[in-house]
Amino acid sequence: MEYRSLGRTGMHVSPLCLGAMMFGAWGEPDHDESVRIIHAALDAGINFIDTADVYSQGESEVIVGKALANGKRDDVILATKVHGQMGVPVDAQVGTKGDPNRQGNSRRWIVRGVEDSLRRLNTDYIDLYQIHRPDEDTDDEETLSALTDLQRQGKIRAFGSSTYPAYRVVEAQWTAERRGLGRFRTEQPPYSMLVRGIEADLLPVAQKYGMGVLPWSPLAGGWLSGRYRKGADEPQTNRAKRIPARYDLSRPENQRKLEAADALGELADEAGESLVHVAIAFVIRHPAVTSAIIGPRTMDQLTSQLGAADLTLGQKLLDRIDEIVPPGTNVSAGDAGYVAPAIADPNLRRRYA
């Protein structure tokens, strides 16, 4: 497997990153089976693992820590994230509120969050510590200064952002330069054949600043797994139960996703390739992309995705993909991962007087 520079950090990672979101109560609850999947990924040449504190409320990190015991830790670039609400029931829906100080991007929470993650991961350091989402209540300087201190203490090697819009990435870079702080070295955005909005702005910005790009959900949350086809039974998944709005086929935006996923599936069939391989290869062959995060729940899912790293897509096939989903567009706006407050809150964009 080839290895690529992780931005300008000097670290090198495989073009496939093993996402650990599905290890634990959100996906595979059997720790031994999850560890077996992680070891299989490492044996296949993947040297990059990404998790987050919020995944199954810390259980994912515990599982990853078990998998990297007995001498495996030093051979892996280990990434995790902070920001999400902690201290709520593991089966809570996305957006559940708890203690407001056990979430976000404040120095107070980041300093506590990194210690909690280090303990669960059973490691002395984290290679890449990422801010999971922007926080409108916290200045970039507050966040970056805390991360810079942790880096100087040796608890983290580098830090990055996740699902930041392009303008927030630029603001953070400028803040780091003006204040003499460490800067985000990577960005982790949603990107797939159905979610291409970042091609218009975020990817060029990341290239300009020499940032590594680590797209999440290259299979568009399962829509490009091959299971969403016209005439097929609607899949019943844990993810659909947790985020029903993104999968309810009675909603027009999800019908559009079904139409596009079916057309892309036909295109893959014509090419003699699996839709899974085409979808992942599409993401990792973009010049700005460093490594695509795959998130298998089972060994079969892992096996079905590994071969994508060896697939090269021809110009004609890429042109056909562009016809189905035009460059720089998202089939559903809800899949962008982040909605600016000015859009989410009508009171911020309307005058009533």
* Residues forming the active site: 55
Element spanning 306, H or E: helix 299-306
Distance of CA 285 to the CA centre of its chain: 17
d(CA 305, CA 279): 10
Largest alpha-carbon pair distance within the chain?
66
Distances (CA, A) of 58 to 15, 162, 216, 310, 327: 26, 18, 19, 33, 36
3-state secondary structure at position 153: coil
d(CA 169, CA 140): 10
Residues 66 and 56: beta-carbon distance below 8 Å: no
The backbone torsions φ and ψ at residue 335, rounded to the nearest 5 degrees and listed phi first, read -95, 5
User: Long-range contacts of range 329-332, CB-CB < 8 Å, 24 or more positions apart?
Assistant: 329/196, 329/197, 330/194, 330/195, 330/196, 330/197, 331/194, 331/195, 331/253, 331/256, 331/257, 331/260, 332/194, 332/195, 332/246, 332/253, 332/254, 332/256, 332/257
